[in-house]
Amino acid sequence: MPPIASFRFPAADGLQLHALDAGPRDATRLSVICLPGLARTSEDFRDLIERLAFDPSHPRRVIALDSRGRGLSARDPNPENYAVPVELGDVSALLAATGIERAVFVGTSRGGILTMVMASVRPEAIAGAVLNDIGPVIEMAGLLRIKAYVGRLPPPRDYTDAARLLRGAMGNQFPGWNEATWERYARLTWQETPAGLVTRYDPAISATLATVDPDQPPPPIWEQFDGLAQAPLMVIRGEHSDLLSRETVDAMRARRPDLETMDIAGEGHAPLLTGERTLESIARFVARCDDQSSSRPSKPAAAGEREPGPSAID
């Protein structure tokens, strides 16, 4: 199997960002852009990259971004820049750096928020979208759970201890995971350094959750969701998700009767995009996007305008 390349590029403010890149630069097939969750990295998409980029029959270019402060992207000296408007600019910088004008976006949680906001301001860039356990309405229970552990877990002694910490923080979301899966997730969350295991994300990202208040739920972003009206759309939901409710999925389907949905049994927020059934379903959806138009006339937001919506999603 060909290697997955790694490259860096500058954000608009000069911060160095990182992404994984694989597959042919074949203009006849849409590229795929993968955007991770708040405290996640491009490595979460490695299985999906391999499935789509190296498909024997329909290989395509797949890029997975490390958002600023995550993975191999530089950490921002100003934590206030860990915000949706800034990160949306980083996605635009990625498109400019790669020369990609239209793509299918796969967004996990925070990455799905970025996808919806991108659709509302730059709809021509969205040729299709997969929203992984995220929708226009975000459940407070999930936000509070995420706030309780992002940037707050103690340094683990080793990966076995790291798996124990994660199981304590989100075990009710993934009751079916075995020890091997928890350890794999731990290795995707921490990395080895001379000083021991450290998170693959800047702990300062937790500041974006400081305003999460159970008495003030985040406003829904149906207007941004509706920006995807002309793009094929798939929503993945974990059976035990406490961030995306079944009621919200039903409301999304009411607005989009052609919505393709997939439930992941035994998982919560956010499902790992692994396993043959999940990968094959996404591959079929992406292939369907190749022949469908995604453009819809839309007025871009004015320069400097901040899009509404939550900015602190895992």
145 located within any domain = no
Q: What residue numbers bound the domain in which 132 lies? A: 5-140+220-289
Cα distances from 171 to residues 167, 181, 242, in angstroms, run: 4, 12, 12
Q: Is the pLDDT of residue 305 over 50?
A: no
Give Cβ neighbours of residue 76 (< 8 Å, ≥ 6 apart): 15, 68, 69, 82, 202, 204
- Mean pLDDT over all residues of the chain? 92
In this predicted model, which residue has the larger pLDDT, 314 or 37? 37
* Distance between CA atoms of residues 10 and 124, nearest Å: 23
CATH number of the domain residue 111 falls in: 3.40.50.1820
SS3 for 201?
strand
| Residue at token pair 């999906």 | 48
266 located within any domain = yes
pLDDT computed for residue 153 by the predictor: 94
194 located within any domain = no
Q: Is the pLDDT of residue 288 over 80?
A: yes
Cα distances from 292 to residues 107, 126, 230, 257, in angstroms, run: 19, 11, 9, 16
pLDDT computed for residue 304 by the predictor: 38
pLDDT computed for residue 1 by the predictor: 66
* Distance between CA atoms of residues 102 and 233, nearest Å: 15
Q: How many domains does the chain have?
A: 1
Task: Extract the tokens encoding 137.
Answer: 């309405």
pLDDT computed for residue 271 by the predictor: 97
Cα distances from 263 to residues 36, 79, 184, 246, 278, in angstroms, run: 19, 34, 22, 10, 9
181 located within any domain = no
* Distance between CA atoms of residues 235 and 229, nearest Å: 14
Task: Note the pLDDT tens digit of each residue in 65-85.
Answer: 999 999 999 999 999 999 999
- State percent of the chain over pLDDT 70: 93
45 located within any domain = yes
pLDDT computed for residue 292 by the predictor: 81
257 located within any domain = yes
203 located within any domain = no
User: Strand pairing partners for 98?
Assistant: none
Q: Evaluate whether 230 touches 120 at the Cβ level (below 8 Å).
A: no
> Please, which pLDDT band fits residue 308 given cuts at 50, 70 and 90?
very low
